[in-house]
A and B are shown apart, each in its own frame.
Chain A
């Protein structure tokens, strides 16, 4: 029987949702505001909380890499995706205070509802991989946005390939 939410995870979801930029707007997916100035002029400065700080979410997003990409209508992880996810797993191992919401996305070439289901498949593939690399399942939630949250807006493969993605969005929030 499938009834009633589990209180613990509901609390986790709420804490993740209170971050104002969690499901932010244009290009905000996983790109923390602190990252925008980084590398300007070619010099990466180590600012606490910036991408030069290996303990920062910006480091996770930009240096480790917060996203992996998929072939058309596929949810199989490529070798490149696995390398990125290995890095994510390593980072999450050493930062146990962080939880992750794994977002699955699709390109616009598909029907809306199928794409939600496809995004869920992709997010789950990444989640299963992270679990296989030792991350507790309780730290990882998945959500699918289908084709509703593109990061690239043109209507050809150069954009579609960026939109067929899974983004691991981390948020500090110890499990209590």
Chain B
């Protein structure tokens, strides 16, 4: 749907930029996200130039891109009141002195044109202190309905150029929207943009739904539905909102479904005779394979990015702990050894970390550890934090935070894997069990 057009404009390569001498005290425009303490980079984002029919969108898209960037905690917006030039002059020469004067370190200019429902957005990124464009100008084509995606795409490109990491703004999040009192809560499967905008409900509230998971390409969702009166796994096509229930043998409960990395298989839990184990089903052939066979609870699986291993939780030791085994089953090895209980492990898309929920001394935490269990780091603490999900770039986690008491309820938060930048996602209503989908094409 979207076409990405690369337009080499200024002819300055990254290599040239990095070799350029730093102005003032600042070096080249670059953030290493792994650094311990980060002073947000001041950026200027003047209203984009209206190249025809853009109207309010020229301002809206510029503002949204700026919000995405400042929302990471890595950037701060220099107030537009300070700008000597309020609107982008997209093809004109950049008056670097004007931007240096207000201490903007990065400048994003843009231009927007609208023809019918067709929307074109162009942007350029400048390193103000080196006085050069960072990367080439880029343009995106979309529709006016999807204008927010254009803003997110601009922000993703800027984020990527400055941090060297993939972006995550033009992405969707599946979640459970909740409403009503705690003892009679209605739940609907829903999807939204990563920032809480454009909520779309995919089921009505007639039956309980739990634990949605996006397919690797974002075209389908798996979730647990009680529509039959019993927990069953449903698969839903996001575009058509058509769903089908996957067959389960009678007397069994099926839940915690996840796609394999190629989307052709699912792994999930079956509870039968009170015992919960992990299974795999090939969606093409319908063949089921048992992955664990223990009298303990084995649940909440998550596949490694290369598909070769599964991280899951088990209480075989007496309490919930995290284990890793081959994706075909076999003897698991325990990786969590700290105090308390560990659950809902999720493998990072980068492969390096496992995010988890930890319950210890009456508190809940979201944390990360390496895949061998070392370097455990707790990122949050509250009455009840749970169910982390990874941003597509493996740098940010979204999770459920539930407040206590009769009026309590769940909302979604995001936090960097450094533990910084804890933010509530503005869903406008109770929300839980997020599944962060891929960056959109």
Binding site for B on A (CB under 8 A): 1-6, 9-10, 13, 16-17, 22-23, 25-27, 73, 75, 101, 108-114, 116-118, 120-125, 127-128, 141-146, 148-155
Q: Let me know if A112 and B253 touch, CB within 8 A.
A: no
Residues of B within 8 A of A116 (CB): 210, 231, 253, 255-256, 269, 271, 299
The answer, yes or no, to whether B230 is at the interface (CB within 8 Å) is: yes
Q: Name the interface residues of B234-277: CB closer than 8 Å to any CB of A.
A: 247-253, 255-256, 269-271, 273-276
Q: List 18 A-B contacts (CB under 8 A).
A: A4-B247, A5-B247, A5-B248, A6-B250, A13-B229, A17-B228, A26-B184, A111-B300, A111-B320, A111-B343, A112-B386, A112-B433, A113-B256, A113-B343, A114-B297, A118-B297, A154-B406, A155-B408
Question: Chain B: which residue is nearest A140 at the CB level?
Answer: B251
> Chain A residues near B359 (CB, 8 Å)?
109-111
Residue B416 at the A interface, CB < 8 A?
no
| 10 shortest interchain CB distances as A-B pairs | A124-B274, A155-B404, A25-B184, A26-B184, A120-B271, A117-B276, A111-B343, A17-B229, A153-B406, A153-B182
Question: Chain B nearest CB: distance from A67 CB in Å?
Answer: 15
Q: Do A120 and B357 touch (CB < 8 A)? A: no
* B211 in contact with A113 (CB, 8 Å): yes
> Smallest distance from the beta carbon of A147 to chain B beta carbons, Å?
10
In the complex, what distance in Å separates the CA atom of A111 from the CA atom of B340? 13
Which residue of B is nearest A150, CB measured?
Answer: B183
**Are A111 and B247 closer than 8 Å at their CB atoms?**
no
Other contacts beyond A113-B255, A143-B226, A153-B181: 7, CB < 8 A = A5-B247, A9-B250, A111-B344, A113-B343, A117-B297, A142-B253, A154-B405
Q: Inside 8 A of B185's CB, which chain A residues have their CB? A: 148
A-contact bits for B397-418, CB 8 A (1 contact / 0 none): 0000010111010000000000
B208 at interface by CB-CB < 8 Å = yes
Binary interface encoding of chain B residues 186-216 relative to chain A, with 1 for a CB under 8 A from any of its CBs, else 0: 0100000000000000000000101100000
**Which residue of chain B has the shortest Cβ distance to A110 in the bound complex?**
B359
Chain B residues in 8 Å Cβ range of A17: 228-229
Check A120 against B405 for contact (C-beta < 8 Å). Answer: no
Q: Identify which of A3, A101, A110, A117 contacts B229 (C-beta below 8 A).
A: A101
- Docked CA distance A127–B271 (Å): 14
State whether B182 touches A13 (Cβ < 8 A).
no
- Would you call B313 an interface residue if the criterion is a C-beta within 8 Å of the partner chain's C-beta atoms? yes
- Known: A2-B288, A3-B288, A143-B229. Is A112-B387 also a contact (CB below 8 A)? yes
| A112 cross-chain contacts in B, Cβ below 8 A | 210-211, 344, 386-387, 432-433
B384 located at the interface, meaning its Cβ lies under 8 Å from any Cβ of chain A in the complex: yes
Contacts of B315 in A (CB 8 A): 114
Chain B residues with CB under 8 Å of A122's CB are 274
Q: How many Å from the CB of A25 to the closest CB on chain B?
A: 4
A26 to B186, CA, bound (A): 11
Q: How far is the CA of A154 from the CA of B255 in the complex (A)?
A: 27
Known: A23-B226, A108-B384. A2 touches B249 (CB 8 A): yes
User: Chain B residues near A108 (CB, 8 Å)?
Assistant: 384, 402
Instruction: Tell me if B383 is interfacial: C-beta within 8 Å of chain A.
Output: yes
Q: Which of A13, A111, A141 contacts B387 (CB 8 A)?
A: A111
On whether the beta carbons of B182 and A150 are closer than 8 Å, the reply is yes
Q: Check if A114 sits within 8 Å of B231, measured CB to CB.
A: no
